Amino acid sequence: MCVLPSSQTKKKFLRCVKQKDSAVVLDIQNKIFGRSAYLCMDLQCVKRASKTNILGKTFKINIDPLLFEELCECIKNLGENSE
């Protein structure tokens, strides 16, 4: 599955955090306080998450589509650096 509860943290996941003002943001450095969910670091999984609105369901708010663009960018950038 693409979205994991915060207890199952692993390095190869992207952390999304719901901030106090209700916006969900990507938290690359694991610094933002708030309720979080983890997405696979995989473009297919991000696309699927976007389609199924699983983050919206997890956090019970509307997700800004820009978040998914940001996630995709992040995966692309990290992928280039990892080899």
Interface ranges with Zn ion (CB under 5 A)? 2, 40, 45
Nearest approach in angstroms of CB 39 to Zn ion is 7
Q: Is the dihedral of CA 38, 14, 36, 46 positive or negative?
A: negative
Which of 4/23 has CB closer to Zn ion? 4
* DSSP symbols for 34-47: SEEEEEES-HHHHH
Nearest approach in angstroms of CB 42 to Zn ion is 6
Packing angle, helices 65-81 and 43-52, rounded to 10: 170
Nearest approach in angstroms of CB 10 to Zn ion is 12
Which of 22/52 has CB closer to Zn ion? 52
